[in-house]
Structure 1
Amino acid sequence: MRAIRVATLTGPDDVEIAEVDRPSPGSGEVLIEVAYAGVTFPELLQTRGMYQTKHELPFVLGSEAAGIVVEAGAGSRFSSGDRVAAIPGKGSFAEFMVAADEQTVPVPDEVSLAHAAGMPMNVLTADFALRLRAQAQAGQSILVHGAAGGLGSATVQMALAMGLEVIGVVSTEDKAETVRDLGATHVVMAEGFKDAAKELYPNGVDYVFDPVGGDRFTDSTRVLAPFGRLLVLGFSAGEIPSIKVNRLLLKNISVDGVAWGAAARERPDYIAEQWDAVADYVAAGKLNPAIHATHPLDEAAKAIGELDSRSVRGKVLLELKGE
């Protein structure tokens, strides 16, 4: 079968299209014919050896995908013909992939496989951040950095589905339009976001969702209301910020790490539990990702490179079998 493989840690331009053996499912696993694969920020980092999870070279790239089960291993809860999405961690940029049952979720008929491929990592990360880590409640407010990106846009949709007021932070007017289309309560520009947010919410917001880091971090603490929480998800700006902890003390605010992947590895039941928790939102179309671009498999380098350019508005996909 055809697959995208990482053989050298020299960046997305050097990923290769290779013929590799089609995998076989073991006990409690499924073989999935991949319809679409989602392109995520970890893939970009993995091509450079910068992601916390390391794989022995060469390896088939790809963290998530959606498709049809073509073979179920002994004891699997899935059957041939099931529409599913899965988060195997690697191997999804291929015509077929194997995923464990606990990494696999059913896709309702109302949801396209293209949209399903763009959901798992971003939707479950957003749910983990808002429902499980922040324990956010309807009527509260959240400022979302990188609101037009794959993770940011999923978080905007999740927060709105949960009844929160959302301020989306973006860097361009095109991205602002994308976030407005998602239904965000307010949209502000990254340049000067602190003053814009304080004008909208003079007493501050309850949460800041930050997958960006860098020089936005300090101003993010300044827009929090007393007892507010800054949710740290990553550092796409490339710089890991630091903070003088007296800022936390003076306003009774906190900075919370949100590492969904680490939690899911420790709790294999997390994925199914979370998918059940958001199932109504998914079926109702409240979490359908905006699709920025869809590329064929042989354009994987270009697709991953789009994330590097920080120009993405929504989700980037690779199309394999399609629908």
Structure 2
Amino acid sequence: MRAYQVPEIDIPPAFVECEKPEPNVGETRVKIACCGLNFADLLMQKGQYQDTPPAPFTLGMEIAGTIDTHGAGVSGPKAGTRVAVFGGQGGLAEYGCYDARIVLPIPDAMSMAEAAAFQIAYGTSHLALGYRAKLKPGETLLVLGAAGGVGLTAVEIGKLMGATVIAVARGADKLEVARKAGADHLIEADVDDLRGELKALGGVDVVYDPVGGDLFKAAFRACKPEARILTIGFASGDVPKVPANHLLVKNIDVLGFYWGGYLKFKPEIVTDSLRELFDWYEQGKLKPHVSHLLPFEQAADGMELLRARKSTGKVVIEVTPQEA
């Protein structure tokens, strides 16, 4: 089979021919249809992600496909069932083997591209806003990087949870995508005085931040007393320092959130969350946004779209061409 692998840290990934993996006890082998790309794929190539596997490794954290076969000790679902999996790596390959407990059937109406774009982005926002920040109806939610893979789902889910949503993104096109996802207020990321704009809107109860850097600092200064700041990631490359004395004075909480980490110590909350999100999709409450669907041969182009921040929502690679 073909796979898109990182041979060594800081060496560009390339296509290789390798053996089709055999499922171990408790595993399911999936024929991969689509793979969603994530900013973490870029960090892994440089060894900068917290869960970077040892090289060589295959990129691609989340996939959708069909069950091919099971290893010993796994009874179902049957071969051909459409499923989605968050595996953490290995998705940019024609087949992958995964712990059967994290292989989830997907709704009939959901396309493979949508399913490959769904788990990390929606799962992150759902658990971060609900489980960690305990966002309440009527509160004001600020989403930084609001047109990105996770940011756009935070806008959508925040609105479903009854919040007033302020979206911050770079450029009119990205802000329009956030507006269509439900944002009530739109602010250009390059505005001269972001703190002033946020204070004029009454301040912020919850901050959803996958960006870091100067945007974090401005958002921090616009927080109301008892606000909660979710640190989701640092796409800016700048990990901000938090003035602990200001936390004390304003009674602010800064909450770290790493969705994949919960699979190691509370996997049930991840799978329960995803089942609820799939139900919301079936009810028409969620509309995954895939800005680019590229063939397997253009995996490098997909990575470059993320690196250059030219995508909105998700970039998905079609590993196996799908019938119309």
TM-score by length of 1: 0.94
What SS class does the counterpart of residue 269 from structure 1 fall into?
A: helix
Question: 1:132 matched to which residue of 2?
Answer: 131
Give the conservation status (yes or no) of the 8 Å contact 1:176–1:187: yes
**Aligned equivalents of 2:26, 2:138: Cα separation in 1:** 41
> Over residues 211-247 of structure 1, what are the superposed CA-to-partner deviations in whole Å (9 max), with x where a residue is unaligned?
1001122211122121111111111100111022121
**Aligned equivalents of 2:229, 2:308: Cα separation in 1:** 26
Deviation at 1:89, TM superposition (A): 0.9
Deviation at 1:137, TM superposition (A): 2.1
Can you give the 5+ residue segments of structure 1 that lack an aligned partner in the other structure? none
Can you give the 5+ residue segments of structure 2 that lack an aligned partner in the other structure? none
**Aligned equivalents of 1:174, 1:188: Cα separation in 2:** 12
Give the conservation status (yes or no) of the 8 Å contact 1:30–1:69: yes
1:61 aligned residue (47, 59, 62):
59
Question: 2:26 matched to which residue of 1?
Answer: 28
What SS class does the counterpart of residue 74 from structure 2 fall into?
A: coil
**Aligned equivalents of 2:286, 2:61: Cα separation in 1:** 19
Question: 1:5 matched to which residue of 2?
Answer: 5
Question: 1:282 matched to which residue of 2?
Answer: 281
Question: 2:307 matched to which residue of 1?
Answer: 308
The aligned length equals 319
Give the conservation status (yes or no) of the 8 Å contact 1:27–1:76: no
Deviation at 1:77, TM superposition (A): 4.1
Give the conservation status (yes or no) of the 8 Å contact 2:74–2:100: no
Superposition pairs of residues 222-237 of structure 1, within 5 angstroms? 222-237=221-236
Paired residue type of 1:198: K
Deviation at 1:160, TM superposition (A): 1.8
State, as a whole percentage, how many aligned pairs show the same letter.
36
> Over residues 155-189 of structure 1, what are the superposed CA-to-partner deviations in whole Å (9 max), with x where a residue is unaligned?
11121222222111001111111111212112111
Question: 1:268 matched to which residue of 2?
Answer: 267
RMSD between superposed Cα atoms in Å: 1.5
Deviation at 1:76, TM superposition (A): 4.4
Question: 1:87 matched to which residue of 2?
Answer: 86
Give the conservation status (yes or no) of the 8 Å contact 1:28–1:77: no
Deviation at 1:35, TM superposition (A): 1.2
Paired residue type of 1:53: D
**Aligned equivalents of 2:321, 2:160: Cα separation in 1:** 28
Paired residue type of 1:275: L
Superposition pairs of residues 70-149 of structure 1, within 5 angstroms? 70-73=68-71, 74-149=73-148
Paired residue type of 2:37: V
What SS class does the counterpart of residue 267 from structure 2 fall into?
A: coil
What SS class does the counterpart of residue 207 from structure 1 fall into?
A: strand
Residue 5 to residue 177, structure 1, CA distance change in 2 (3 Å): same
Deviation at 1:280, TM superposition (A): 2.5
**Aligned equivalents of 1:113, 1:322: Cα separation in 2:** 10
